[in-house]
A = this chain, B = another copy of it.
């Protein structure tokens, strides 16, 4: 089994594709644009889900489930929304197959739907149509709902995890009595996402808002977290939208306020998806494979026995038994790789490829000396430690690895964030990669022009940047603050 990856320096994009396959995370399916998420990749998603779900519930949200299909007419109700989403979507037109004596199984022409159904690309329309009957009074507000679901956006160029026609995500949809409360909710959920990205994914993010060009179709404001990948391209890792009263008006969702007057409801929506797994890979991994932050690693510690004789194997197995118990009691997930079908060197390479944060190797000499070899995945360093208090040492090491991975990604981002003030420097920097902080005159036209010329987009207009006014990098017109440009995934 060849486990070598194309080196990052040679071809980053090919390195990524190799890694996803060789770390057994996902693969392309027989359905164009749809992926199969393999057990190892799915286990990472499950860890992400469990943590995020807990955060959503702590902030007062409940889960629910809405239909996969959305009547076509619903999309037309919010003008900018249909522009953004109805273009590339999967459309159900029939509800029955039949056996044709000549052609075999065919779509039954008699089973055509009166109104076509769209496979949800996002659920604002069906949910706001439902909220109409759930909300009558201010007492019914706020309504704080989240859904874990699959969605479909027909994509022509797909990449595993980063852009697939079907993907898994969560979508929060909340309803509020006031504009300010909805804005606070959208901001709160952005902070939840940033917390998750930094403290669990070990991925530093910039927080702020999108420019109007990059806003969600139907939003008044799109908040986002933006991360820098190892190849210098940006990746939007999560968005939270203040939707104003747009969907309430489109679906006629009103409530009686405390003054006994009818008002339209204020809305937010927010989501993160399996795309985060792509972000995780491109934040930390290397030419040996995946590097996972311990808090999201399905297996945090792997133990590989080194032996020739059966008695040695038995003695090692006995020795590590209590360690496994101790680690588990600390909530650390551990795998004892006792397969007799593979040699230690093969196992080492496999667990490196899969990004297991800590590997222990233990052989007959270790038993004699009361030692164990500890290898950490992030730095690839090995050291021989005394077996005494080894569970505590490992627990401590996992914490250090989590911090180190974050620190490394943060240093990388800082090293690749640039302020530029001339068009020449701008185009040069954008070409080389990284976050480029530059002045912009605030117009959609200039943003569009810059995109056409350089492929760079405004990734985020950061909160609290203390940036001084200046002159637009392209037009020279006045600018109130620097914004973050980059080429993006």
Residues of chain A at the chain B interface (Cβ within 8 Å): 27, 29-31, 34-39, 42-43, 45-46, 62-76, 82, 86-98, 104-105, 107, 116-119, 126, 129-130, 133, 139, 145, 149-150, 152, 154, 166, 168, 341
Contacts and interface: CB of A to CB of B under 8 A. Distances in A.
A68 B152 contact: yes
A69 B107 contact: no
B92 A92 contact: yes
8 contacts: A34-B68, A42-B65, A46-B63, A68-B150, A72-B105, A75-B105, A89-B95, A90-B95
Contacts of A70: 31
Contacts of A98: 87
Residue of A30, A96, A139 ringed by the most chain B CB atoms within 10 A: A30
Nearest to A70: B31
B89 A166 contact: no
B65 A37 contact: yes
Nearest to A117: B31
Contacts of A39: 62-64, 145
Nearest to A104: B76
Contacts of A91: 92-97, 107
A39 to B, nearest CB: 4
Contacts of A67: 29-31, 34-36, 166
B88 A95 contact: yes
Given A68-B150, A96-B154, 16 more contacts: A29-B66, A30-B74, A30-B126, A30-B130, A34-B67, A36-B64, A39-B64, A42-B62, A43-B62, A68-B166, A82-B97, A82-B105, A90-B117, A91-B94, A91-B96, A91-B97
List the 6 shortest-distance A-B pairs measured between CB atoms, nearest first: A34-B67, A39-B62, A37-B65, A86-B97, A91-B94, A95-B154
A119 B119 contact: yes
Nearest to A62: B39
A439 B18 CA distance: 61
A98 B88 CA distance: 9
Contacts of A126: 29-31
A231 B270 CA distance: 44
Contact of A139 (B27, B93, B341): B341
